[in-house]
Amino acid sequence: MAFADELRKLVPRNIVIYPECTAVPAFEIIGYKFFYYRLKNDEVIMEGLILVNKNIVAIVRTNGKSPRALDLVNTIEACLGGPATVALDTGKYRDFFPNQNVVIVSDEIEDNWTGLDIPDNWGWFCGDFCYYAAYKAQPDADYYILMDDDVYFSADTFKKIVTSINESGPFSSAAFGLSDDLQKGPKFSRDLGKIGLPTNVGCIFPFTISTAAHIKKMEQLRRKSLKDNARVNDEAIFASASTQIDVKFLNLESDLPSVFSRKSFRTNPPNLLEFVKENCQDQVWHPTVLEDEVILRIRSGEKNYFRHRLRRVLAQASPDAAAKINQELRLFEDPIDEKAMQTSVIYENTCLIDGQKIIFNYTNPKDVVQKHHHQGRFYEEEELAIIKRNFVPGTDFLDIGANIGNHSLFVGKYLNPRSITLIEPNPVAIRMLVLNLALNQLTNICDFRYLGLGLSDQKSEKASINFSNKNLGGAQLKDDDAGDLQIEKGDNLFHNRHFSFVKIDVEGFELKVLRGLKTSIGTYRPKIFIEVDNVNRDGFFSWVQENDYEIVEQYKRYKNNENFLLRSLGNTPTD
């Protein structure tokens, strides 16, 4: 007798049975269990796959062209055998998901929530709207699973979750359950008292499971909270609805302990993805804060999320990542910089230069560099032409003395660099530098981690900077026991970084910068474009000879200095 026939005697007639997993079409694997039996006349242990056919809608919430969302969708669809649903806040990126069921949450709000005071930052508080939109598009499902696009799990892990669903009666589920503290309740349960509900309910929202009845109850509570002007967020709405209807509330952490773990929902180090790939394919991971997300929130000025977790991110980050985050904080929260911005008018000039749309951000149209941006052109066009003739596309550019970004912006828009690394110690120039690169969509290739540092031939933490508001690019470093500006040797930062092109404009510090980069230059032999003050000419020419370089081009714009393009005479790496 065939194994499937033998197994048929043991299970209900409405369950589909196949003799082995490989014989089952992928779209039919919705829930599963393996059963092992020893047949009477066979010494081989055989296995059978029991399938159940509950209708599950899996919803991935994303806000843009997210490759991670597509990976997640592909994993889900391989398990469910049909299209996942993607919930987008707006329709801007609808075409990025051509093969999925897409619901637009802003359409749901516009069509069904008129007259209610929905907060502008509703996404922070009202992720439950993704459920409402998905339910109205597909109202006949048995279960709805909603997850953020920064949740990580394998196909096998998702199968375990779906199996758990198929083995239970009606329920809702989230991570970490309800609070036992009837007085205080979790912080995320704010304002529940305003709508007459206990304040001891809440959950973690990036991965939740709901039913049609549960979604309808959530919508009732949400409408009430908006009418009563209560700031109830999605975690509290979800958990409260679970207590208001006759369904079980399953704590994912206790129901599936091998899949959901509190540690995997905590702040994680920047190498999380590698860690998950190598060690934890059997778990669901939701890194509440990653290095890149922290930096984006710092840049956006977001106040309500990253700050209370930032110390843990820094503690778990690599020294390099921690330095990058600290530099972002210094850049965007430095009181000197803030003061400068508060007392300056910010101008923006959009122009077309050599077929490229360029946006210049500046504060002083009379500044030596900024007046050119005010006029719709780059500063030092002849010098930029020298860089263009000698830069190899697809290589790495190091800008030492970046000022407000004139040279890096030109390189980024016209010369196709692989990366741009920026050094600039002047806090007033830094803000315009970052804005110029951001406005021109170059931040994805820019390394900002060293902003706020100066370079020299020795490390120091006692320096200051002098500059005129009419010439930020003329800022000069100086030793100062009362100063708090940090100076580093370039070799300490870049001993293992292969830059093919280095631009140096440091107002008289050029020989010290060259000496501080001795090992890096000796190893990688980059082309160097450097401004040299007249007082340093003899020392500069000696350096060129001693280090086996040659002067290829030069240009003198001002009487006090001159620019030189240097090329290695030998042993020159090509990439």
Write down which residue in 224, 256, 288 finishes a domain.
Answer: 256
Are 331 and 446 found together in one domain? no
- Distance between CA 506 and CA 193 in Å, rounded? 60
Same domain, 536 and 412: yes
The 10s digit of each residue's pLDDT in 151-194 is 888 887 888 887 777 666 677 787 655 544 444 444 555 677 78
Spatial separation of the C-alpha atoms in residues 313 and 306, rounded to whole Å: 9
pLDDT at 118 over 70: yes
pLDDT at 469: 60
Query: How does pLDDT run across 511-522, given as a tens digit for each residue?
Result: 999 999 999 999
Residues 276 and 225 in one domain: no
Which secondary-structure segment (H or E) carries 497? none
pLDDT over 70 percentage in the chain: 67
* Residue 311 belongs to some domain of the structure: yes
Residue 149 lies in a domain: yes
Residues 442 and 522 in one domain: yes
Whether 326 and 391 map to the same domain: the answer is no
- 133 located within any domain: yes
Judged against a pLDDT cut of 50, whether residue 398 lies above it is answered with yes
Distance CA 227, CA 124 (A): 18
Smallest CA-to-CA distance from 374 within 394, 390, 357, 360 is with 360
What's the whole-number average pLDDT of the chain? 76
Whether 482 is covered by a domain: the verdict is: yes
Same domain, 510 and 376: yes
| Exposure letters 259-277 (e unless 16+ CB within 10 A, then b) | bbbeebbebbbbebeeebe
Looking at the structure, do residues 104 and 133 belong to the same domain, yes or no?
A: yes
Q: How many domains does the chain have?
A: 3
Q: Decide if pLDDT at 430 tops 90.
A: no
What is the Cα–Cα distance from 116 to 228, expressed in whole angstroms?
10
Residue 449 within a domain? yes
304 and 452, same domain (yes or no): no
CA distance linking residue 379 with residue 369, whole number of Å? 6
Contact 322, 314 (CB under 8 A): yes
Q: Does the residue 264 lie in any domain?
A: no
| Boundary residue ending a domain (300, 335, 370) | 335
Domain assignment of residue 573, yes or no: no
Same domain? For 330 and 365 the reply is: no
Predicted local confidence at residue 50, as pLDDT = 39
Mean pLDDT is lowest, of 133-142, 150-159, 394-403, for 150-159
**Residues 208 and 309 occupy one common structural domain:** no
Distance CA 291, CA 303 (A): 16
More confident site: 348 or 73 = 73
CATH number, domain of 549, equals 3.40.50.150
Three-state DSSP class for 327? Answer: helix
Please indicate whether residue 155 or residue 218 has the higher confidence score (pLDDT).
Answer: 218
The answer for residues whose C-beta is within 8 angstroms of residue 412's C-beta and 6 or more apart is 420, 437, 440, 442, 445, 446
Its domain, for residue 178, covers 56-256
Asked which of 335, 362, 390 is the last residue of a domain, the reply is 335
CATH of the domain at 245: 3.90.550
Q: Are residues 304 and 357 in the same domain?
A: no
Q: Are residues 152 and 218 in the same domain?
A: yes
CA–CA distance, 142 with 501 (Å, rounded to integer): 60
Alpha carbon 298 to chain centroid distance?
11
Amino acid at 95: D
In a domain, 29, yes or no: no
Cα dist. 186→180, 233, 303, 350, 564 in Å? 9, 12, 19, 48, 63
